[in-house]
Every structure is written in structure tokens, then in C-alpha cells.
Amino acid sequence: MQINRRNLLKYAAAGGVASMMNPAYAQQQQPFRIGVLCDQSSVNSTSGGKGSITAIQLAVEDFGGQVLGRPIEVLTADHQNKVEIASGIAREWMETKNVEAFFDLQNSACALAVMGLASAKNKVAVVSNAHSSQLTGKQCTPTSFHWTYDTYQLSGVQPQAFVGMGKKRWFLLNWDYAFGISLEQDFRRSLEALGAEVVGSVRVPAGASDFSSAILAAANSGADVVQVGVAGTDLLNLIKSAREFGLDSAATLATTSITLVDVELLGLEAAQGLYVNEVFYWDQNEKTRAWSKRYIDKVGIPPNGERACGYSGALHYLKAVAKTGGADGAAVAREMRNTPVNDLLSDNLTVRSDGLCVRDMYLYKVKSPSASKTKFDDYEYVSKVTGESSVRPLSVSECPLVKT
């Protein structure tokens, strides 16, 4: 048969009709979309923003850039730490962009909201940048995961270390929203179990312009340790004010949310002596150094635990999609729970029925300027607490997915 322009157009048109009549073919041509929701402009932007996005993009790159024969597209948006904005973007992405999974989900209130929306649409949510224990507690869902530490685990590491040093009088200073409230409750539980005493507490609003009253209350409490549960620019401003008021001379400052980004912004002169919890440090071993170098080349500063966990969670999700042969949220979530987590940063980790990825946690102390030998050599190792010994036991879990 002679191939001419008329025949070519006819067969091209027929092919177009065939693709429209075959949804599977048409879908195969569409990008496979995942979304990263984090704070890019507000109080938590130093621990979200470009760093969070880059970590997910590195996971996509390491996976090969496509899944199910479709190119992977990463959508990003700034939720500004506002639940209504996070929820609105999540709805729009699912309804108009066919986003299959959500990552990072910074801010516990935002994460909880998006988890619920995703579950209702049979989509997956992998939280790596929020820490309320409710994420795998009462509000857990079949398609949601928590890929980093929560407030329950966080509240056990520092009390064990400091009470062991004889520091038994504590003052708790936390944000007045989901994360801070959970953290205070979990710290009280942990300290009581260790025979320590909470001599005072205060909650502050996110984005507060003045922390002087909270700092003075802590300074006058007679506490051995002041636990600080705020993050981002709030934490930077609070630490600077605490130094000015001499709080660090009266008590040990134990920060539960500081990142290496924050330490770099503060400078070692101001940050030295602070105690830091982390599930990841860029200089832990050869693998973490190699991966972190790729990250640094793109961002200019090493990744923190949340970014590393975001990478790990996205990679594990994409492996599950490939293994199940589709994007059905329930099926992918089952595969994620049933498969140990292995990647450049994780070694045979367990994902529990409540969606928690169980990780070891480390306590570090920020070095003095004289002790730091190279760029980003900021942390001194203090101790390690295994994941199994520090996470909430499933026997007391309030997650409805846990069978007791």
C-alpha cells in the first residue's frame, strides 16, 4: 500500500482514537506524579524547602527516573505551615494531577490532615518531617507511614542520658500545637518513669516575636535541664535569647528539633554545647558521606535526618510500586510494610503495622569552634539508643491497625 500524507494522517488519527479507547495505554503516557509538601517560606523553612525537595529528587534519580514505564514527576508546593493550605493543595493534586503519594509533610498538624485525605482517596502518605506520636497513634491510616522518629522515641533519648548524669530537674519549653503538645506529654511520661521531676513548663506560639518571658521562667525554675521543643527560626531566635539571658550557664540546653542547618546558621560559637537528637548524621560512615556529598553539591549544606528519611521513604515507596505493578495505595502500603527497608542510608529496617519505620536514635553534642576540624564537622557523638528499645511498644499502641 502506498504511504502518502493522507494515509499517514488517517493512521495517525486512528492511533489517537485507539489510545483514547485504551485507558491503560493513555495512562502509560502520563507522568507518574508524587508530591512534596513542606514549608518553603515560613518559620520551618530552614528544615524544609529546597533540602526536602532535593532529597526526594535524589531518590527518584537513584530509582532510575521512571516506574511502571512512566517518567516520575515530582510536584512541590509551600504549605506555609497552614493546615488549610496543605489540605487544599493535597485535594487539588489528587483531583487534577493524579498525584499518587505525598512526601515530607512537614508540620504535624499538616501531616495529619493530608494523611486523612490521602487515605480516603487510596493514596500513600510518607511523613518524614513531622514528629507527633499521633502519626502512628490514634490517627494512623492504612496508607500512611512515619519514616523518622516521633515524640515518644524523642522523649526517651535525652532523659535517659541526662538522668544518668544526675540531672533530674527539668523545665519543658515547647510549641503550642500538635508537635509541641505531644512532645511535652511524652517527656512527662518518660521523666516520671525515670524518677525525674518536671519543675515547670511553658508553651509558646509558632512564630512568636519574643521569648523572653519563657526564658526567664526557665531560668528561675532551678532546672538542671531545659528541654526546648521548637524548631526553625523560632529555635534560632530562642537560643540567641537564651545565651543573652545566661540561661545556658544556669542549665543544660537540650534541643529536640535543631538540625545541622540551624547549627550552621547559628555558628559554632553560639551553638556549642547544645545537645542534639538525630537518626542520621552525614559523617557517620562512608555511605552517608558519599550520599551527603551529592546532596551538598545541590544544596550547599549536609542533609539532616528528616531529609535522609525523606529520601529513604520515597525510594521504598517506588520499589513497592514496581513490585506490585501498580499505584493502588492499599496494595503498595501492604508491600511497604511487608518489606524490610534497605537503601544507602538504611540497613534492614522494620516497618510496623502502625506504619512506623523503626530507626536507632543518636545523641550528639555540638562541638566548640576549636574542636571542629573540617567544614560541617559540627557534632560529637555521645550515645546511641536502639530503635526497638525506644519506640512505643505495639502492645500499648492506640493505632486501630494494630492487632492486640
The Cα–Cα gap between 232 and 80 comes to 13
Residue 252 one-letter amino acid: T
The four Cα atoms 120, 122, 126, 127 give a dihedral, to 10 degrees, of: 0
pLDDT reported for residue 215: 96
Residue with cell string 493550605: 85
CATH number, domain of 374, equals: 3.40.50.2300
| pLDDT of amino acid 404 | 54
Sorted by sequence, the CB contacts under 8 Å of residue 153 that are 6+ apart come out as 361, 387, 390, 391, 392
**Residue 197, SS3 per DSSP:** strand
Domain interval for residue 156: 152-278+360-387
What would you report as the CA-atom Rg of the chain, rounded to the nearest whole angstrom? Answer: 23
* SS3 of residue 122 by DSSP: coil
Same domain, 39 and 177: no
260: amino acid identity, one letter:
L
144/171 same-domain check: no
Nearest to 355 by CA among 150, 59, 94: 150
- Return the pLDDT at 147: 98
Within a domain: 404: no
If asked whether residues 61 and 131 sit together in one domain, one would say: yes
Q: For strand 70-78 and strand 32-38, is the pairing parallel, antiparallel, or unpaired?
A: parallel
Q: List all residues 6 or more positions away from 315 whose beta carbon is below 8 Å from its beta carbon.
A: 59, 62, 63, 343
> Along the 404 residues of the chain, how does pLDDT read in single tens digits?
444 444 433 434 444 433 434 555 455 579 999 999 999 987 777 777 899 999 999 999 999 999 999 999 999 999 999 999 999 999 999 999 999 999 999 999 999 999 999 999 999 999 999 999 999 999 999 999 999 999 899 888 899 889 999 999 999 999 998 888 989 999 999 999 999 999 999 999 988 889 999 999 999 999 999 999 998 889 999 999 999 999 988 899 998 888 888 899 999 999 999 999 999 999 999 999 999 999 999 999 999 999 999 999 999 999 999 999 999 999 999 999 999 999 988 999 999 999 999 999 999 999 999 999 999 999 999 999 999 999 999 999 999 999 85
Neighbour count for residue 74 (Cβ, 10 Å): 17
Rounded distance, CA 100 to CA 121, Å?
9
Q: Does residue 396 lie in a domain region?
A: no
101 and 249 inside one domain = no
One domain, residues 213 and 181: yes
In-domain check, residue 25: no
CA angle 243, 263, 163 (to 5 degrees): 65
Clarify whether residues 274 and 233 are in a common domain: yes
371 and 253 co-located in one domain: yes
Other C-beta atoms lying within 10 Å of the C-beta of residue 284: 16
**Per the domain annotation, does 300 fall within a domain?**
yes
Both 163 and 93 in one domain: the answer is: no
Domain match, 261 and 293 both: no
Given strand 169-175, what is the order of strands in its sheet?
Answer: 197-204, 169-175, 225-229, 252-255, 275-278, 361-366, 379-385
Clarify whether residues 369 and 234 are in a common domain. yes
52 and 86 housed in the same domain = yes
Question: pTM of the full predicted structure?
Answer: 0.87
Q: What is residue 286's predicted lDDT score, i.e. its pLDDT? A: 95
Which 3 state secondary structure label does DSSP give 305?
Answer: helix
DSSP letter at 137 equals T
- Measured CA to CA, the distance from residue 223 to residue 242 in angstroms comes to 14
* Residues 181 and 113 grouped into a single domain: no
Bridge-based pairing of strands 361-366 and 275-278 is: antiparallel
